[in-house]
Amino acid sequence: MKKKKLVLVGNGMAGVRCIEEIFKIDPEAFEITIFGSEPHPNYNRILLSTVLQGDTSIEDITLNEWDWYKQNDIQLFTGETVVKINKDRKQVYTDQERIVEYDELILATGSLPFMLPLPGADKEGVTAFRDIQDCQTMIDSAQNYKKAVVIGGGLLGLEAARGLLNLGMEVDVVHIFDYLMERQLDPTASKMLQKN
Ligand SMILES: Cc1cc2nc3c(=O)[nH]c(=O)nc-3n(C[C@H](O)[C@H](O)[C@H](O)COP(=O)(O)OP(=O)(O)OC[C@H]3O[C@@H](n4cnc5c(N)ncnc54)[C@H](O)[C@@H]3O)c2cc1C
């Protein structure tokens, strides 16, 4: 019987885990194609902070090596973004003018960080903290610059600040709330983060 065509848009943790679960049910059910905008195989985004802090390398946080895709006959397109879906024709279109047909389509495109709409937000040296490229930007910047400002004193902001400190930078954290990590902590617990 001809296999159904499954296209996954988003080569991240949720999407690839979904493919792994499909394999557990029936590894032969689909001919699979995966598109990922990032030029990497699936990696553990949660551990990016440890890469920034210098504890691990990008290789260490890879969840599915390039070989995994080959071994499972997955057609993988990295560094390629799906820009259009035609539901009537059951086709996806990419920024590299590729057109791929599907019977089933999974969208697991994650989320984008909110960049403050401020003048200068598009300047060199301003970055979000979401992917390997952002980590690399911070690591490279630390080699050329001394001072960093982190906007946001939530979990990720503080993890970024820790990483930048480890990279030898002087770091200021600017937070909109009157105490840090207000989504996780109450004021008393937050105060315990202070040195004295
Ligand atoms: C530094 C950091 C620390 C975190 N720590 C924690 C934690 O401790 N606990 C926790 O629960 N969560 C944590 N998170 C959040 C967690 O990483 C995300 O919830 C998780 O990665 C979401 O997985 P996902 O597969 O839905 O999306 P993503 O991991 O964002 O993957 C989606 C992928 O799809 C790609 N994509 C998007 N659009 C397209 C397109 N049109 N075509 C092709 N590809 C596309 C993206 O480039 C991306 O690679 C953290 C996040 C960060 C950045």
**Residue 24 burial class via C-beta count within 10 angstroms: exposed 0-12, middle 13-18, buried 19 and up:** exposed
Centre of ligand 1 to C-alpha 182, Å, is: 22
Compute how many other C-beta atoms are within 10 angstroms of the C-beta atom of residue 86.
Answer: 11
Q: Whose CA is nearest to atom 13 of ligand 1?
A: 46
pLDDT tens readout for residues 3-35 = 999 999 999 999 999 999 999 999 999 999 999
Contact present, 49 and 150 (Cβ < 8 Å): no
The atom number, within ligand 1, closest to the CA of 111 reads 30
- pLDDT at residue 159 above 80? yes
* Domains parsed from the chain with CATH numbers: 4-107 (3.50.50.60), 132-191 (3.50.50.60)
Residue that has been written with the tokens 């029936």 in this structure: 26
**What does the pLDDT read at residue 54?**
84
Pairing type for strands 75-78 and 30-36 reads: parallel
pTM as predicted: 0.94
What count of Cα atoms within 13 Å lies in the side-chain half-sphere of residue 174?
4
Centre of ligand 1 to C-alpha 114, Å, is: 13
pLDDT tens readout for residues 33-79 = 999 999 999 999 999 999 998 889 989 999 999 999 999 999 999 99
